[in-house]
Amino acid sequence: MRLKSKIIATAVLFAAAVGTACAWYFIDRDHGIPTVQDVPLDSVAPVPQTEPTTEPPPISTGEENGLTGMAKSLLAYNADTVGWITIPETKVNNPIVQKTKQEESWYYLDVSFGHEPYRAGTVFLDYRDVFGFDEDAQSDNLLLYGHNMANNTMFGSLRRYRQDLSFYKTAPFIELYSNYQHYTYVIFGQVITSGSGDAEWRYWDMEEFADKQAFDDFVDTVHEKNMVDIPIDVQYGDKLLTLSTCYSDADNSRFLVIARRLREDETPETFAEVFAEEPETTEEASTEETTEETTETEE
């Protein structure tokens, strides 16, 4: 695993920018939800839509430069494309973009996939993360940001995981596509935590783990903060994925969904018995509040 140097001041600024956005973008009052259905499709694979689906986006391999057909289509429309995320049984079904320069890192907070002003923004990867062709070089813990929209678009429908703590059994897997490959992740954490720059647990700065101890510390903290006991084993060397969205503007808190990539010998069927069991809630589940719902639905 690689150790990436972290500049604390930069991370604080980034956290502050995301936190500020949470106060402004709960409600999409002015626009419809953008899709990529107008991407030119001449001689390339079909482009998936941003409607919920139980099927992954169409994808083909062996294309020029290792790019999938889907990636070629999306890159022709937006050169910042780094992938696509789908969570079956939710409305999470979106392209993923990334700006790799710190000064542009929060560009997509209020900009659509088509580079138009759009209060729902676009799902984006942390500017420090690596999610390319070389899997060994990929970040240990990919961090995706998306707004908590009242109409359940972007990462708005993630609230179902904390409102119904058994929902993870219905939607335990995340389908993540790079521009080159398709990966499946299994959810093991649902956490409400602080998003402030002075937070004790700075999850946004935990995308590269120096060693096993650093990895275990992250996973142990997820277990400590977990709203529900999800019996998924997580081992040093597993690739992780963290989805971050706003929870409460009052205390600048975040709701996180954390998952690990399936190993080579695993399939979704591997976890059938796990998801057949009744979930066990934790003390952290009692932190769920009703203030967010009022904020989100207020017109």
In-domain check, residue 67: no
The pLDDT value recorded for residue 293 is 39
The residue that leads in pLDDT, 40 or 2, is: 2
In-domain check, residue 64: no
The pLDDT value recorded for residue 249 is 77
Q: How far apart are CA 144 and CA 174, in angstroms?
A: 12
The pLDDT value recorded for residue 38 is 36
Helix (H, G, I), strand (E, B) or coil at 174: strand
Please, which pLDDT band fits residue 150 given cuts at 50, 70 and 90?
very high
The pLDDT value recorded for residue 238 is 98
Question: What secondary structure, in 3-state letters, does the chain show?
Answer: CCCCCCCHHHHHHHHHHHHHHHCCCCCCCCCCCCCCCCCCCCCCCCCCCCCCCCCCCCCCCCCHHHCCHHHHHHHHHCCCEEEEEECCCCCCEEEEECCCCHHHCCHHHCECCCCCECCCCCCEECCCCCCCCCHHHCCCEEEEECCECCCCCECHHHHHHHHCCCHHHCCCEEEEEECCCEEEEEEEEEEEEECCCCCCCCHHHCCCCCCHHHHHHHHHHHHHHECEECCCCCCCCCCEEEEEEEEECCCCEEEEEEEEECCCCCCHHHHHHHHHCCCEECHHHHHCCCHHHHHHHCC
The pLDDT value recorded for residue 250 is 77
In-domain check, residue 68: no
The pLDDT value recorded for residue 284 is 64
Q: How far apart are CA 240 and CA 233, in angstroms?
A: 12
| Predicted model pTM | 0.78
Does the pLDDT at position 41 exceed 70? no
Please, which pLDDT band fits residue 259 given cuts at 50, 70 and 90?
very high
The pLDDT value recorded for residue 115 is 93
DSSP label at residue 56: P
pLDDT by residue (tens digit) across 81-90? 999 999 999 9
Q: How far apart are CA 265 and CA 33, in angstroms?
A: 38
Return the percentage of the chain with pLDDT > 90, whole number. Answer: 64
DSSP label at residue 158: G
* Count of structural domains, the chain: 1
The residue that leads in pLDDT, 147 or 19, is: 147
Q: How far apart are CA 89 and CA 54, in angstroms?
A: 6
In-domain check, residue 217: yes
The pLDDT value recorded for residue 209 is 97
The pLDDT value recorded for residue 279 is 64
Write the CB contacts of 260 (distance below 8 Å, at least 6 apart in sequence). 185, 186, 188, 232, 234, 238, 239, 240, 241
The residue that leads in pLDDT, 26 or 5, is: 5
Among 31-45, 58-72, 136-150, 153-167, which stretch is predicted with the lowest mean pLDDT?
Answer: 31-45
Please, which pLDDT band fits residue 199 given cuts at 50, 70 and 90?
confident
The pLDDT value recorded for residue 286 is 54
Does the pLDDT at position 244 exceed 50? yes
Residue ranges in 23-96 assigned as alpha helix (H): 69-77
Computed over every residue of the chain, the mean pLDDT equals 79
In-domain check, residue 127: yes
Please, which pLDDT band fits residue 192 given cuts at 50, 70 and 90?
very high
Does the pLDDT at position 215 exceed 80? yes
In-domain check, residue 59: no
In-domain check, residue 54: no
- CATH code of 216's domain: 2.40.260.10
Full domain range(s) for residue 287: 8-33+80-297
Return the percentage of the chain with pLDDT > 70, whole number. Answer: 71
Average pLDDT over residues 135-144: 97
In-domain check, residue 3: no
